[in-house]
Amino acid sequence: MSDEQLDLLKKKLVVSVKSRQKLERTYEQQFSTLTDFILRLSNVCKGIDIELDNKLGKLRTFLSKNTDIDKLSPLINELTELLKQHETRITLNLKQAQTALLGAGKKLQKVKGLPDNLRRELRSTLKGVEVPQDSIIHLLPSLEKLVDFYQEVLALKAELESNNTASNDSAGLDTDNLQKEVAAELLNILSNIAFSGNSAEKIDVIRNTLAQPVQAQTLVDSCVEIIRLVIESITEERQSAQNFLFSLNDALSSVHTAVSTSISGSKEISSSKQKINDKLKQELAGMSKEVAKATSLDGLKKEINRSIGDIVSALNQKEELEAEEHQLLIDSLSEMEVRLKDLEVEAEEYKKKLSEQRFKSLQDALTKLPNRASLDERMELEYRRWMRYNHDLCLAVADIDHFKKINDSLGHSVGDRVLQIVAQSLQKTLRETDYIARYGGEEFVLIFPESNLKSIEKRLNTIRQHIESIPFKFKHSDLKVTISMGVTQFKAIDQPQSAFDRADQALYEAKHAGRNKVIVKR
């Protein structure tokens, strides 16, 4: 080999060594990049599976020590196997996750009362979940959405439940109020019906029950009992009216018998009288014939004497008959008088009973004041008088303050007693022309004819102070009772109801102004 050839070979060798070195450096660089990548990748896979973790740990150690790739080969094979298993597991998990998500979504779809937009969104989200995915990551947005839906539905449900509870509560309140109103109305009705005897006692018991808070069942029982007592007392009333009618009938039939006896007696007597009259006529005709054909005075005298004797006896008979007839008439008249007198007594009793009943039906049983039915009558009367004469007419509504507290703290019977005392006191302070009625519960209505508002306001304040000063003492403790009042005067445009409403509004203001007050509303 020539020197030239040797030089060329040397140069080629150097180039080849350099390129080999360059290639080795590149390999080294690539190997190190790959090692770094595998190290990082194995770190990312950490925590998925313990066995995989251990093996990757081993791989990382080998790689960091630049271990010969041949030595790594078995480990890499094991890892590949593990990763394959893991892939299968991931696919299975993905399927399970998809099924679970779909199941949860479908459950949500079954919830009743979902808003339409939520239902629509839910449907489209579930369609997305149904599409096959190769990574669990793809399911995460759907999962997130589903969680949001759940939260929304839970919030809706909570809202619905609280609404339901509120409406149940308010239904409860409504029922309570309704029960109270029914009880109050029953009390009002009771104060408008007059019961007597046994029924009155039973009604008092019902009245006491109804004035306290009652259960629905008690209310129904009370209604039934009231209806029963009303029917009983109507039956009694009908019986009593029937008895009266029977007596009237008896009296009339005995009058009828007396009259017909008297008529038939009279008929007999008058036919007997007719016979006597005929006989008298015959006698007189016979006499005139005897006179005409008489030949001697003695014979005539005899004949006339005989005829006169007959006439006298006929007249006597007639007189007797007339006396008999007269007696018959007197007898039947006196019998009629007796029967009519009896009837008069009975009618008088019945009238008295009716007027007592009417009075009772217009009187409140507890306070003995006129009741609401009476108030309606009186109001109408005063209103008509006011229209006719145009005198001043004032109307006041009074109400005992915090009466419920009295009932609640001292008992219902003390409440009743307070009502009676206040009612009596109010009545005592009134003038003869004034009028008071128990309107219901612890409320009274007062009418003041021919009085102006100014003077009535003054009087009402005196009454109010008087009530305030009554020394109530119950169960060894002092009780202060006050009343609030609203008063108004009838105006040209007024009807009884509009004036009442104004006075009632004034009472409401008196209550709100702190009670124990008289408020005037013009």
Ligand X SMILES: Nc1nc2c(ncn2[C@@H]2O[C@H](COP(=O)(O)OP(=O)(O)OP(=O)(O)O)[C@@H](O)[C@H]2O)c(=O)[nH]1
Does 401 engage in binding with ligand X (CB under 6 A)?
yes
CA-based nearest residue to 193, from 353, 445, 365: 365
> What distance in Å separates the CA atoms of residue 28 and residue 38, rounded to the nearest whole number?
15
- Which one of residues 222, 407, 451, 488 is an interface residue with ligand X (CB under 6 A)? 407
| Least distance CB 431 / ligand X (angstroms) | 27
> What distance in Å separates the CA atoms of residue 128 and residue 143, rounded to the nearest whole number?
11
> What distance in Å separates the CA atoms of residue 418 and residue 412, rounded to the nearest whole number?
10
The number of beta carbons lying within 10 Å of the beta carbon of residue 264 is: 11
Angle, helices 216-293/297-361, rounded to nearest 10 degrees: 170
Does 496 engage in binding with ligand X (CB under 6 A)?
no
Stretch of 89-97, 388-396, 401-409, 470-478 lying at the interface with ligand X (CB under 6 A): 401-409
Contact 129, 101 (CB under 8 A): yes
Residue 514, classified by CB atoms within 10 Å of its CB into exposed (0-12), middle (13-18) or buried (19+), is: exposed
| Least distance CB 119 / ligand X (angstroms) | 49
Does 505 engage in binding with ligand X (CB under 6 A)?
no
| Least distance CB 186 / ligand X (angstroms) | 11
Contact 493, 385 (CB under 8 A): no
Closest CB to ligand X among 128 and 411? 411
State both tokens at 234.
């109507």
DSSP-assigned letter for residue 443 = E
> What distance in Å separates the CA atoms of residue 122 and residue 119, rounded to the nearest whole number?
5
CA-based nearest residue to 379, from 437, 302, 427, 420: 437
Does 442 engage in binding with ligand X (CB under 6 A)?
yes
- The strand pairing partners of 395, in sequence order, are 447, 488
Contact 392, 452 (CB under 8 A): yes
Closest CB to ligand X among 101 and 422? 422
Coil, helix or strand for 196?
Answer: coil
Phi, psi for 433 (deg, rounded to 5): -80, -15
Site residues (CB under 6 A) for ligand X, limited to 120-179: none
Does 481 engage in binding with ligand X (CB under 6 A)?
no
| Least distance CB 402 / ligand X (angstroms) | 5
Does 404 engage in binding with ligand X (CB under 6 A)?
yes
Site residues (CB under 6 A) for ligand X, limited to 70-89: none
Does 494 engage in binding with ligand X (CB under 6 A)?
no
Give the helix ranges, DSSP H, for 294-371. Answer: 297-361
Site residues (CB under 6 A) for ligand X, limited to 347-376: 366
User: How many amino acids of this chain bind ligand X (CB under 6 A)?
Assistant: 19
Closest CB to ligand X among 463 and 510? 510
Does 508 engage in binding with ligand X (CB under 6 A)?
no
Q: Which residues contact 98 (CB under 8 A, 6 or more apart)?
A: 129, 130, 132, 133, 139
Closest CB to ligand X among 273 and 515? 515
Helix (H) or strand (E) holding 396: strand 393-400
- Which one of residues 419, 423, 436, 487 is an interface residue with ligand X (CB under 6 A)? 419
Stretch of 282-290, 382-390, 397-405, 421-429 lying at the interface with ligand X (CB under 6 A): 397-405
Longest dimension (CA), the chain: 244
- Which one of residues 399, 457, 494, 504 is an interface residue with ligand X (CB under 6 A)? 399
> What distance in Å separates the CA atoms of residue 440 and residue 322, rounded to the nearest whole number?
71
Closest CB to ligand X among 317 and 361? 361
- Which one of residues 86, 279, 466, 511 is an interface residue with ligand X (CB under 6 A)? 511
Closest CB to ligand X among 453 and 510? 510
Coil, helix or strand for 120?
Answer: helix
> What distance in Å separates the CA atoms of residue 499 and residue 481, rounded to the nearest whole number?
27
Stretch of 162-170, 413-421, 458-466, 468-476 lying at the interface with ligand X (CB under 6 A): 413-421
Stretch of 331-339, 405-413, 425-433, 494-502 lying at the interface with ligand X (CB under 6 A): 405-413
Does 410 engage in binding with ligand X (CB under 6 A)?
no
Does 412 engage in binding with ligand X (CB under 6 A)?
yes
- Which one of residues 273, 275, 279, 402 is an interface residue with ligand X (CB under 6 A)? 402
Q: How many residues does the chain have?
A: 522
Closest CB to ligand X among 211 and 369? 211
Does 403 engage in binding with ligand X (CB under 6 A)?
yes
> What distance in Å separates the CA atoms of residue 328 and residue 323, rounded to the nearest whole number?
8
Q: Which residue is nearest to ligand X (CB)?
A: 415
Closest CB to ligand X among 416 and 501? 416
> What distance in Å separates the CA atoms of residue 167 and residue 498, rounded to the nearest whole number?
35
Site residues (CB under 6 A) for ligand X, limited to 188-247: 211
- Which one of residues 370, 415, 486, 496 is an interface residue with ligand X (CB under 6 A)? 415
Does 504 engage in binding with ligand X (CB under 6 A)?
no
Closest CB to ligand X among 187 and 520? 187
Does 416 engage in binding with ligand X (CB under 6 A)?
yes
Query: What's the Cα-to-Cα distance from 313 to each of 273, 275, 277, 317, 320, rounded to whole Å?
Result: 13, 13, 12, 6, 10
Does 518 engage in binding with ligand X (CB under 6 A)?
no
Q: Which residues of this protein are in contact with ligand X, per CB under 6 A?
A: 187, 211, 366, 399-405, 407, 412, 415-416, 419, 441-442, 511, 515
